[in-house]
Amino acid sequence: MSRQPRLIAADWGTSSLRAWLLDDQGDILESRAEPWGIQQLPDGDFAGAWRRIAGGWRTQYPALPALACGMIGSRGGWREVPYVDCPAAPEQLAEGLVEFDTGTGPLTLVPGIMQHSNGATATLPNVMRGEETQVLGALERQPALRDEALLVMPGTHCKWVTVRDGRITDFTTHMTGELFAVLREHSILGRPAREVATEASEAAFGDGLDVARQCGAAGISGALFSVRSRVLAGELAVEHSLEYLSGLLIGEELRSVLVGRDSCPPLMLIGDDSLCRRYRLALARFGIDDVQPMADAGIAGLWRIAHTAGLVSDRGH
């Protein structure tokens, strides 16, 4: 029996556009990827990019639904999709879908989630677009996480998402990846390292983690400059200084999240292998072992949302 195409699924973010033709089990029949993130598109030509990536599938299977998640639904994207409120279950995301005509058939966009500020507990507002789909995908793949879990998605903006009873109940954003990038490229901490060949060093990364831990409640405000001063004092090789900086920043993120917690719910890392590995090493340093990483869960999440919304029939899955 040949596998039938059922859904065109896409993850269209800030830096890339990936699309898949999925069969009636949600498995991949064909894959395409282009570096056409919403900030990289020549002339902001969303329609042209979509035609080039999905046009062939559209011609062959004109009736297929198409579903995309990510920054494509933001104000700077193709079509702004209002956020749904937190807490959010798959049903709320399905209700918030927005469909429009692309010129290459209809396209449905997944909404992001907004957590509103809460005066009583001084919660700050937070937003995500794309990560909600990763979370639903992870819960599809590991149903045991639905009761209660903390899902961590390292990256430019690392999201820490709390799940209870299959719903996203709250989340925070840590700009650790962006902080690292701007300090490496534009600060005095990165300048000397840019003039040499940077070397991987788990020891220097670990030193950074340890210093962040030892800073305790003071945080790393007064320790960040040690990326420079330890090089000047001969305690740190300039080739390893960015590893040390990475340790300081990730260490501060973990310290911040874990402070005041007596226990931690089951924890899952989702995303890029090498970054997840860094977070695993760091979590172990903070006494949290046995954290399992999961590669990209976007496809499973898109399939789940398409299903909940009735875009694909009940035959699959």
Residues 104-123, mask of contacts with a copy of itself (x by CB under 8 A): ----------x-xx----x-
User: Residues 287, 288, 289, 293: is their CA dihedral positive or negative?
Assistant: negative
Which of 28-36, 197-205, 255-263, 305-313 is the region at the interface with a copy of itself (rule: CB under 8 A)? 255-263
* CB of residue 312 to a copy of itself, shortest distance in Å: 31
Which of 30-38, 64-72, 92-100, 223-231 is the region at the interface with a copy of itself (rule: CB under 8 A)? 223-231
Q: Is 165 helix (H, G, I), strand (E, B) or coil?
A: coil
Which of 16-24, 130-138, 211-219, 286-294 is the region at the interface with a copy of itself (rule: CB under 8 A)? 211-219
Q: 């035609």: which residue's tokens?
A: 51
Check residue 41 for interaction with a copy of itself (CB under 8 A). Answer: no
Using a 10 angstrom Cβ sphere, with 0-12 exposed, 13-18 middle and 19 or more buried, the burial of residue 310 is exposed
Check residue 229 for interaction with a copy of itself (CB under 8 A). Answer: yes
Cα–Cα distances in angstroms (integers) from residue 247 to residues 121, 223, 253, 285, 292, in the given order: 30, 12, 10, 11, 20
Report the distance separating Cα 249 and Cα 176, nearest Å. Answer: 6
Check residue 62 for interaction with a copy of itself (CB under 8 A). Answer: no
Enumerate long-range contacts of 27-30, CB under 8 Å, 24 or more apart.
Answer: 27/3, 28/299, 29/3, 29/5, 30/57
Q: Which of 102, 133, 176, 246 binds a copy of itself (CB under 8 A)?
A: 176
Check residue 157 for interaction with a copy of itself (CB under 8 A). Answer: yes
Query: Tokens in use for 138?
Result: 């992870």
Which of 49-57, 226-234, 264-272, 296-304 is the region at the interface with a copy of itself (rule: CB under 8 A)? 226-234
Q: Which of 125, 147, 165, 313 binds a copy of itself (CB under 8 A)?
A: 125
Residues 64-103, mask of contacts with a copy of itself (x by CB under 8 A): ----------------------------------------
Q: Is 121 helix (H, G, I), strand (E, B) or coil?
A: helix
Q: Is 213 helix (H, G, I), strand (E, B) or coil?
A: helix
Question: Strand pairing partners for 101?
Answer: 106
Q: Which of 45, 148, 235, 273 binds a copy of itself (CB under 8 A)?
A: 235
200 with 243: CB under 8 angstroms? yes
Report the distance separating Cα 71 and Cα 300, nearest Å. Answer: 18
Name which of residues 277 to 316 contact a copy of itself (CB under 8 A): none
Q: 């040499």: which residue's tokens?
A: 196
Binding site for a copy of itself (CB under 8 A): 114, 116-117, 122, 124-127, 157, 160, 172-176, 178-179, 182-183, 185-189, 211, 214, 216-226, 228-230, 232-233, 235, 252-253, 255-257, 259-260
